[in-house]
Amino acid sequence: MIDLLRRARLRLLQMHYESGVGHIGGNLSCLDLMLTLHHRVMHSDDRFVLSKGHAAGALYVTLWSLGDLTEDDLKSFHKDPTHLAGHPPPEGIQNILFATGSLGHGLGLAAGVALGKQLRKDPGRVFCLMSDGEWNEGSNWEALAFISHHRLNNISIIVDLNGLQGFGSTKEVADIGVLADRFRGLALDVVCIDGHNPESIEEALRLDPADKAVAIIATTVKGHGVSFMENQMAWHYLPMNAEQYLQASEEIGRR
């Protein structure tokens, strides 16, 4: 798994550098979560929704690591007329259910999929990966009330808690307090983990409670693994120049 994580981080950096695209920090914060989920936990009956659509690069690299996307696909990232847009597209890529990126909508979509499975008595779970800043959106709290009301115990919510969003820290922009406490108040099972520890991630994602949805709060680092990116809000946006790409690749390669 460690070698897989390293190779995926390097491929993510290469893809973003060659396309001149930013959002690298938030991709690196959730890549470990996405890879562990897809390689160690998910089965054919499970479904995944990426609510933080600006982490599309991490999703594409994950699908590449599974053999669902090719090298040529990744080389087309963010270029016309690619399917690999800056946010997940509505069609054209297997296993991407919805176009996402307008934050606050992924959880409602995932809840709908989970309810559909429940009504049809279909097997499998629904996993929804979200950002922490995304919880400023009221639609997520409506979705949580819906999940709790319908007792959707077949959904797992994964929060990439890196502490930074587009215009500052989550506490500075709109402090919503301790997410774990709020989730418990809506009758969810809550697990707090290190979002860069594959063993902890796998253990949490395998939880299948009898009558509750699961919220996994994963503490992560924006720009994880690259010294000059870590915990720096600017890397929510910036693309890398050649010197930065070389340094980032060397640091990841040594990990």
User: What's the pLDDT tens digit per position in 51-79?
Assistant: 999 999 999 999 999 999 999 999 999 99
Between 210 and 38, where is the model more confident? Answer: 38
Q: What is the DSSP string of 61-111?
A: HHHHHTTSS-HHHHHTTT-TT-S--SS--SSSSTT--S---STT-HHHHHH
| Closest to 218 measured CA to CA, from 80, 33, 15 | 33
pLDDT of 19 higher than 80? yes
Taking the model in full, what pTM does it have?
A: 0.96
Distance CA 98, CA 42 (A): 18
> pLDDT tens for residues 167-222?
889 989 988 889 999 999 888 999 999 999 999 999 999 987 778 899 999 999 99
Q: In this structure, what token pair is assigned to residue 107?
A: 């959880």
- Rounded to an integer, the average pLDDT of 15-26 is 96
Instruction: Write down the pLDDT at residue 163.
Output: 95
Count the Cβ atoms, other than its own, within 10 Å of residue 131: 28
Report DSSP state, residue 166: T
> At 29, which CATH number?
3.40.50.970
- Residues contacting 100, CB < 8 A, separation 6+: 49, 50, 51, 52, 53, 87, 88, 106, 109
Residue numbers of the domain that contains 231? 2-254
Q: In this structure, what token pair is assigned to residue 41?
A: 């936990």
In the structure, what pLDDT confidence band is assigned to residue 39 with cuts at 50, 70 and 90?
very high
Q: In this structure, what token pair is assigned to residue 3?
A: 């070698």
> pLDDT tens for residues 87-105?
999 999 989 999 998 899 9
Instruction: Write down the pLDDT at residue 117.
Output: 98
Distance CA 69, CA 5 (A): 17
Number of domains in the chain: 1
pLDDT of 8 higher than 90? yes
Instruction: Write down the pLDDT at residue 175.
Output: 87
pLDDT of 255 higher than 80? no
- In the chain, pLDDT over 70 holds for what percent of residues? 100
| Closest to 23 measured CA to CA, from 133, 98, 177, 174 | 133
Instruction: Write down the pLDDT at residue 94.
Output: 87
Indicate the burial class of 106 (C-beta count within 10 angstroms; 0-12, 13-18, 19 or more).
buried
H-run or E-run covering 86:
none
Start-end of H helices in 76-137: 106-120
- Rounded to an integer, the average pLDDT of 6-11 is 98
Instruction: Write down the pLDDT at residue 176.
Output: 85
> pLDDT tens for residues 125-162?
999 999 999 999 999 999 999 999 999 999 999 999 99
Count the Cβ atoms, other than its own, within 10 Å of residue 179: 17
Q: Is the dihedral of CA 235, 236, 242, 248 positive or negative?
A: positive
Q: What is the DSSP string of 21-41?
A: ---HHHHHHHHHHHHHIIIII
